[in-house]
Structure 1
């Protein structure tokens, strides 16, 4: 099947092309990604970690308190958090008191700082990564960060406005139905097969990976 086939399947379910396009995720430009501060990257990464397995609205409502208690997510400060500070934070009822997730903050702060030093800023690192190799960025975030495995890397990139596809249940159904993979991909070989599939659809449509991902999901139906 071509991208047009998936597009028409989605239109059969939703009828209105404008409505379909309105569902496309909002993206930042490369320049906007470069201009985003390292603290905003660490904040978003941490917010995604806490969102995993929880209602997003609950996490988001608590996030101002996290911003205050974690010094605006300054990576330099957050790298230095020790167990004594974590014990204090665990007593703060304004926060979501999840010990393992809190412990990811200094680890991810170190990742942000290291890549920022290497590339000039973490935003530059994210901005320059090519979309046709986006699963490699997922893998790097998983390896060098904490709690960013599975869908974590893709989900945090989506929150940041970096173009990526996401392996939602509906997208995986499409991939399985059309024999791209036999199950939700986890290994690098299958992820590379999925990347190649999305690259082909991108070449056919000229649309961002995130928009293609949305069309595939919507081709399954409401």
Structure 2
């Protein structure tokens, strides 16, 4: 794999200046900022990610105020009490996206949020304290304990939240293949560990957050 110096120079050549490059890069939230986000907001973001999966994001986002109302502002203590009959009534609400599997995931994820909060004090504590040099471990934790958070949903959720993570988008996977780090989209523990190790090396060389390195790497793919 190439080092960070090559990655930086490639992106500078592509965008023409440091300012143009920096303008394209995201900034993650700090651990303190992540802790200050309420459990209801985390549940809302989890649900938003689940409903966005496979659907046009703008369609989902336009309906989200109705979801906030239907799910009691995503207060996990209230949402967890929503039973099958309540969800069936929501399936008749034309303001919502009436996908029963996704609707069922919301109270399940409310229970997940409450379980984490009971153990750690808040869901934000889990997100804030998880070390970024094992961010794939957090993906696996979310996929195992949450509902419908497998595949790319966990890293995309973390990006939405503001937690520092890389996201194995199609462009990033193509770049990883070009670097000889993987030969396909990483799914196995071995492949994910190889990608994590590569990002840890680039981070050590650059001091940049994972999300910035992820975007920079994706831009090394020619279109």
TM-score of the superposition, structure 2-length normalised? 0.97
Task: Count the aligned residue pairs.
Answer: 222
Question: What is the CA deviation profile of residues 26-74 of structure 1, one whole-angstrom value per residue up to 9, with x for unaligned ones?
Answer: 3211111101000000000100001111111111110000000000001
Deviations 1:129-188 (A, max 9, x none): 000000000000000011111111100000000000000111101111111111000011
1:67-92 deviations in Å (ceiling 9; x for gaps) = 00000001111111111111110111
Bigger drift between 116-125 and 20-29 goes to 20-29
Task: Specify every segment of 5 or more residues in structure 2 that has no aligned partner in the other structure, as ranges.
Answer: none
Matches within 5 A, 1:32-111: 32-111=33-112
After the TM superposition, which residues 108-187 of structure 1 pair with which residues of structure 2 at under 5 Å, given as runs?
108-187=109-188
Cα distance in structure 2, aligned partners of 1:7 and 1:54: 34
Farther-moved stretch of structure 1 (9-18 vs 112-121)? 9-18
1:6-17 matches, within 5 Å, as: 6-17=7-18
Q: CA deviation at 1:204?
A: 0.4
Q: Is the 8 A contact 1:141 1:153 kept in 2?
A: yes
Looking at structure 2, the residues matched to 16 and 134 of structure 1 have their Cα atoms a distance apart, in angstroms, of 30
Kindly state the Cα deviation for residue 17 of structure 1 after the two structures are TM-superposed. 2.1
Q: For 1:102 and 1:89, locate their aligned partners in 2 and report how far apart those are by CA, in whole Å.
A: 8
Q: Distance in 2 between matches of 1:149 and 1:194?
A: 18
Write the distance in 1 (CA, Å) between the matches of 2:54 and 2:155. 15
Q: Give the distance between the partners of 1:94 and 1:46, measured in 2 at CA.
A: 16
* Unpaired runs of at least 5, structure 1: none
